[in-house]
């Protein structure tokens, strides 16, 4: 019994160490220790604007053109947040999709007029090879994203 417990304990310890030290590293070293739930950011985004956060989630999308952003699934179903990085500073390969990511960055707000939102939605539809439906944009849009400065993806 004790031997089984020690083996289990060693296994759990190796898992925690492997995430902390392993994986593909992008950008700067992660400095924050306390994680913020993505759902908390999305529920009250104005409370987080301008603040540095550490988030964790599965990579559900990667920029196919330049690798300049990833989307992370929230801890709640049907929610996700985009992590945008400065073009060329960090490049996320498409192979990272489906993996678990730990990302540090600053939350920011993007306010778009209806015209800007239409142009953005049309561009996104083109990027994903989908038909653009202009009726999907009904007015001004406010988005919240994370300006990524460092990530570990496993």
Q: Say if residue 61 is exposed, middle or buried (CB neighbours under 10 Å; 0-12, 13-18, 19+).
A: middle
Contact at 8 Å (CB) between 73 and 60?
Answer: yes
* Assigned token pair, 42: 């999305």
User: In the block, which residue shows the tokens 């985004």?
Assistant: 45
| C-beta neighbour count of 141 within 10 angstroms | 16
pLDDT reported for residue 71: 97
| Residues belonging to the chain | 154
Mean pLDDT across the stretch 98-121?
96
CATH number belonging to the domain at 24-153, selected among 1.10.3470, 2.60.120, 1.10.3210, 2.40.50: 2.40.50
Q: Say if residue 13 is exposed, middle or buried (CB neighbours under 10 Å; 0-12, 13-18, 19+).
A: exposed
Contact at 8 Å (CB) between 122 and 77?
Answer: no
Q: What is the pLDDT of residues 22-60, one digit of tens each?
A: 899 999 999 999 999 999 999 999 999 999 999 999 999
Decide if pLDDT at 73 tops 60.
yes
């Amino acid at each position: 019994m004790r031997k089984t417990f020690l083996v289990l304990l060693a296994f759990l310890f190796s898992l925690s160490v492997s995430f902390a030290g392993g994986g593909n590293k992008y950008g700067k070293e992660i400095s924050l220790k306390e994680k913020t739930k993505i759902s908390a950011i999305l529920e009250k985004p104005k409370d987080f604007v301008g603040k540095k956060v550490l988030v964790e989630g599965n990579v559900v999308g990667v920029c196919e053109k330049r690798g300049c952003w990833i989307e992370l699934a929230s801890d709640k179903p049907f929610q996700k947040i985009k992590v945008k990085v400065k073009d060329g500073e960090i490049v996320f390969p498409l192979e990272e999709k489906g993996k678990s990511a730990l990302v540090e960055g600053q939350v920011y707000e993007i306010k778009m007029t209806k015209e800007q939102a239409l142009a953005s939605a049309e561009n996104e539809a083109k990027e994903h090879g989908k038909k653009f439906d202009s009726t999907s944009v009904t007015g001004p849009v406010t988005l919240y994203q994370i300006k990524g400065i460092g990530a570990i993806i496993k």
